[in-house]
């Protein structure tokens, strides 16, 4: 049976965090607050738990979840290599609204879906998420909603969508805002280019440029239409 804990209450906070740790350890799902949206989380190193996450959202393996980590040091354990500019991005914008795609460490025993050897990593800027990550290690986390529906602004709202698919809901009031910016840094390690913006979000192009300089790839502006053009 699903449990919802109001983390504004000290007793619920302690019980909720305890039950969340237990649920993750047993391969179950947890809804937790982040600085962008509520997320549904699973043990990143449990293929069965990640599959449960995808099924709960109505997604296939072609939509692998990103991984939340609790510290910049954890990036070294997950990535095959961490270029200096990627480390600089993490130092500047984490915890916060930046997701970085890197080549995954090939020795890792995990299965996030059809990632093509990559992993999307972020440190969220929310105390409850960081506390849980410090105790569980990396978590596969996707927005806590059914595919095609808007994420709930509270844990209670996400429970209306996901119901018994999730074991523990950690309620922290209304959260939500602009989605994280996603950048792909695999071109650096593969020698095929720089850092490419995949999705615009909280972190602006100008802010990224201040850290990356010429390592940031900005797509050319679309050509202006001319008379008779399509």
The string of pLDDT tens digits covering residues 68-121 is 999 999 999 999 999 999 999 999 999 999 999 999 999 998 999 999 999 999
Dihedral angle sign, alpha carbons of residues 196, 201, 207, 211: negative
Could you give the 3-state DSSP secondary structure of residue 218?
coil
What gap in Å lies between CA 68 and CA 22, rounded to an integer?
18
**Rounded to 10 degrees, what is the CA torsion of 103, 109, 110, 116?**
30
pLDDT tens per residue, range 183-217: 999 999 999 999 999 999 999 999 999 999 999 99
Q: Please state the rounded mean pLDDT for residues 163-167.
A: 97
Q: Which residues contact 13 (CB under 8 A, 6 or more apart)?
A: 5, 7
Q: Please state the rounded mean pLDDT for residues 21-43.
A: 97
Tell me the longest C-alpha to C-alpha distance in the chain: 69
Does the pLDDT at position 227 exceed 60? no
Q: Which residues contact 225 (CB under 8 A, 6 or more apart)?
A: none
Looking up tokens 């593969």, which residue turns up?
A: 190
User: What pLDDT was estimated at residue 223?
Assistant: 52
Q: Please state the rounded mean pLDDT for residues 26-45.
A: 97
User: What pLDDT was estimated at residue 109?
Assistant: 83
User: What pLDDT was estimated at residue 177?
Assistant: 78
User: What is the pLDDT of the chain when averaged over all its residues?
Assistant: 93
User: What pLDDT was estimated at residue 226?
Assistant: 42
Instruction: Please report which confidence band the pLDDT of residue 220 belongs to, taking 50, 70 and 90 as the band edges.
Output: low
Does the pLDDT at position 218 exceed 80? no
Q: Among 210, 217, 214, 188, which Cα is nearest to 92's?
A: 210
What gap in Å lies between CA 91 and CA 220, rounded to an integer?
28
């Amino acid at each position: 049976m699903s449990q919802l804990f109001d983390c504004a209450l000290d007793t619920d906070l302690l019980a909720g965090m305890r039950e969340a740790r237990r649920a993750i350890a047993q391969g179950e799902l947890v809804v937790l607050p982040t600085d962008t949206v509520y997320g549904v989380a699973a043990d990143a190193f449990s293929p069965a738990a990640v599959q449960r996450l995808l099924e709960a959202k109505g997604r296939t393996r072609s939509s692998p979840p990103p991984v939340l980590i609790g510290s910049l040091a954890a990036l070294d354990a997950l990535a095959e290599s961490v270029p200096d500019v990627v480390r600089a991005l993490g130092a500047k914008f984490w915890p916060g609204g930046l997701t970085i795609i890197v080549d995954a460490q090939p020795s890792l025993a995990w299965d996030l879906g059809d990632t093509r050897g990559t992993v999307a990593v972020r440190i969220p800027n929310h105390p409850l998420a960081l506390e849980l990550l410090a105790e569980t290690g990396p978590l596969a986390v996707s927005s806590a909603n059914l595919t095609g529906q808007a994420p709930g602004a509270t844990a209670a709202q996400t429970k209306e969508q996901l119901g018994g698919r999730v074991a523990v809901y950690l309620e922290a009031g209304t959260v939500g805002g602009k989605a994280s910016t996603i950048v792909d840094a695999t071109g650096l390690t593969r020698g095929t280019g720089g850092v490419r913006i995949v999705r615009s979000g909280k972190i602006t192009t100008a802010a990224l440029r201040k850290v990356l300089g010429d390592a940031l790839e900005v797509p050319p502006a679309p050509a202006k239409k001319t008379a008779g053009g399509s």
